[in-house]
Structure 1
Amino acid sequence: MSVEALLGGFDPIVAIMLLGASFVGSFITVALGIGGGSLLLAIMASFLPPAALIPVHGVIQLGSNLSRAAVLFRKTHWPPVAAFAVGSAIGAGVGGSVVVNLPPGIVLIGIGVFVIWSVLARPPAWLSRFPLLTGLISSFLTMFFGATGVFVANFSKSLRLSREPHVATHAVLMTLQHGLKIVVFGMLGFAYGPWVGFIAAMIAAGFLGTLAGRSVLIRMSDHGFKRALDVVLVLISLRLIWQGIGAL
């Protein structure tokens, strides 16, 4: 595979910046539990064609979450996974086949407000009782807005897991969701071929970030982890609200 393919046709400086963003994104997600996918999406949006942004980001996130799930596999909390997978399949299928007229700004503001409320109050009880519904809603939204890890993180948070099971379970759920999204985009005709080299390089950089982030995760106390997670969730949610206001 040529160097040009690995760089995705980007200027070398831009490509290095994107690879660095993949590393940092995975590091943040492992160390803090959430945030890296949204960060990576925001940076990629500045350089990738709009039509390629969501599907390419989805494959990279699949690789990142799959590596994270593999590294922490034994810590996964399995009971909600099957129902979440069923909901995700329904949500991704509906999202890929229906033209959505809801203004993106309204969706972004709604998610941001919901997440902040979940951080400041107790996570809604229904989140832990209805993994199928959580999977359906988040997978539907990810077809249009890409990074719904914040939404899924609130479901994981409602399970009241310690830091490593939280990160492991979230990684498994997001692996399922991104995998389904990739399949649906492929069925809709998106050509992944030209992006294979770039995607592989981004996934490799993300895997290194996963290994580095895990070394931080295992040294962090549960209290410190949850406080850091809340701060990251609020900051990302404020960014979503700001983006939503701008879109409107």
Structure 2
Amino acid sequence: MPFFDLLIPPGLDAGITLTLLLTSVIASFITIAFGIGGGVLLLAVLASLLPPTALIPVHGVVQMGSNFGRFALMFAHVNWQPMLAFAAGSLVGVLAGGAISFNLSPALVQVGVGSFVLWSIFRKPPRWMSGMPIVSGAISSFLTMFFGATGPFVATLTKSFALDRHGHVATHAAFMTVQHLFKTLTFGLLGFAFVPWVGFMAAMIVAGAVGTLLGRLVLNRMTDHRFRIALDIVLGLLALRLIWSGLFALWTA
């Protein structure tokens, strides 16, 4: 199929491309239904199939598109108050991350982010997260230049505003759209060639939109109480996975 051939990125075949498209559907479904999780799942699958140099930039574009879809769908529920400060911090964070010449260890980032998220589940998120979203934006955006999936950290920030389930999903999507937009622009300025990946990234975003629509059906049927329980469970599992992955990488290095 000539059209489908346009969606296959360099170094991949049709079967792998279809697998990744299905993963994008599942990842977006998980994120909108349970508040978090899809970005880390997608990064883990992409990391095993994409060239290392393309992983973070391509994941960033796909996540920007998927989060924008959630943001547009849930626009009326966005908490706009912290958005400008978060965006300003995000811009500073990606520029700082892009300017650093050494490679910050992703394993250390995983252990640090995972430990912080796990701690925040059992205690209230620190007051500075809701009081100074510019700081949260700067920290998470700096780390995402090296690690890629800092959604759990941003979800902790979003959780600190004590929003209802629709407000949490919408505001988190807005935060992540801004962060991934700045990250994508920065990687473009640093010289990453996005053009060979355009068809694949567009298809992944469309697949993510399908998952978003399906996941919203689950979100609408869920109560706020059950959503908060599901969010804590998913955050806890993600935090443990991040810590385990980071420690394993450090042990085997």
Q: Provide TM-score, normalisation by structure 1.
A: 0.98
| Residue aligning to 1:7 | 8
**Partner residue in 1 for 2:231:** 229
Look up the SS of the partner of 1:153 in the other structure: helix
Q: Percent identity?
A: 56
For residues 105 and 179 of structure 2, the distance between their equivalents in structure 1, rounded to whole angstroms, comes to: 23
> Aligned-pair distance for 1:224?
0.4
Shift of 1:123: 1.3
- Please identify runs of 4+ aligned residues in structure 1 that moved more than 4 A: none
Q: Does residue 1:177 correspond to 2:196, yes or no?
A: no
1:93 aligns to what? 95
Kindly indicate whether the alpha-carbon contact (under 8 Å) linking 2:103 and 2:146 is maintained by their aligned counterparts in 1: no
Q: Please, which of 109, 112, 132 is the counterpart of residue 110 of structure 1?
A: 112
One-letter amino acid matched to 1:40: L
What letter is aligned with 2:237?
A: L
CA distance in structure 2 between the partners assigned to 1:7 and 1:185 by the alignment: 21
What does residue 83 of structure 1 align with? 85
Deviation of 1:8 after TM superposition, in Å, equals 2.0
Aligned counterparts of 1:98 and 1:145: Cα–Cα separation in 2: 14
Q: Distance in 1 between the 2:8 and 2:238 partners?
A: 28
The 8 Å contact of residues 104 and 146 in structure 2, kept in 1 or not, is answered as no
Distance in 2 (alpha carbons) for counterparts of 1:146 and 1:161:
25
Give the alignment's Cα RMSD to 1 decimal: 1.0
Give matches, 1:186-201, under 5 Å.
186-201=188-203
* 1:212-238 deviation line (CA, Å, top 9, x unaligned): 011110110001000000000010111
**Which range moved further: 208-217 or 1-10?**
1-10
In the TM superposition, what is the alpha-carbon distance from 1:104 to its structure 2 partner? 2.5
Work out whether residues 27 and 208 of structure 2, in 8 Å CA contact, stay in contact via their aligned partners in 1.
yes
Give, in whole Å, the separation in 1 of the partners of 2:99 and 2:122. 36
2:57 is matched with 55
Aligned to 1:36: 38
1:98-123 CA-partner distances (Å, limit 9, x unpaired) = 12454332221111111000001111
Which runs of 5 or more structure 2 residues have no equivalent in the other structure? none
2:149 maps to which of 138, 147, 150: 147
Letter in 2 for 1:78: W
Residue of structure 2 aligned with 1:209, choices 208, 211, 219: 211
Q: How far apart in 1 are the matches of 2:90 and 2:104? A: 20
Give the aligned length.
248
Find the residue that maps to 1:2 and give its secondary structure: helix
Q: Which residues in structure 2 correspond to 1:18-37 (within 5 Å)?
A: 18-37=20-39
Partner amino acid, structure 2, of 1:223: H
SS in 2 for 1:191: coil
| Aligned-partner Cα distance in 2 for 1:48–1:106 | 22
Q: Which amino acid aligns with 2:239?
A: S
1:7 maps to amino acid: I
How far apart, in 2, do the equivalents of 1:235 and 1:100 lie? Answer: 30
The superposition leaves residues 8-59 of structure 1 with CA deviations (integer Å, 9 ceiling, x where unpaired) of: 2522221111001000000000000100000000001111000000000000
